[in-house]
Amino acid sequence: MTVAILALQGAFAEHGQMLDRLGVENFEIRQKRDLGRSFDALILPGGESTVMGKLLRELDLFDELRERIEKGLPVFGTCAGLILLAKDVEQGTPCFATMNLCARRNAYGRQLGSFHTDGVFAGDEKVPMTFIRAPYISKAGEDVEILAEVDGHIVAARQGNQLVTAFHPELDSDMQVYKYFMAMIEK
């Protein structure tokens, strides 16, 4: 199994480190030619969603990645990655728009509104959740499975081949969210 990590901006290196810990082969997508490599899944990291969306188009990565996601490529979006996948974005413009949900950008405020908590993910034990200028899901379609909530806000969800978290599991040592994603890929 090989996982590609979008490496245009944001916390992409940390995702690679987590995959390395699991023994999962991974590489970074930085330019169009990187799409020529074979991969079984994609991670869209946290960062600045507007910048990422712009770079996806400027580097001619957008159309091919969207098509692969629509055809069933497993994808995991964290924070900004959640925003990139959302069909609707409050205070922003949708990018891939492949997940039937509405994301509220910077829902917890600016950098000073960042925080850490523990929450139940996918009905399992609690996992650490680090939120940095995080969004949350303000609306989810019927076909979206809610995987975690914090203070009444949806912070993790799945729709078919797509998994999103408003928090950054790559910044904590717990591997549960990654193991969940690996199980998705294997199916």
Catalytic residue numbers read 79, 168, 170
Asked if 158 contacts 150 with a C-beta cutoff of 8 angstroms, the reply is no
Count of beta carbons in the 10 Å neighbourhood of residue 33: 8
Cα distance between residue 122 and residue 177, in whole Å: 9
Q: What is the H or E stretch that residue 180 is in? A: helix 176-186
Closest listed residue to residue 71, CA positions, set 134, 169, 162, 177: 162
Half-sphere exposure of 21 (CA within 13 A, CB side): 14
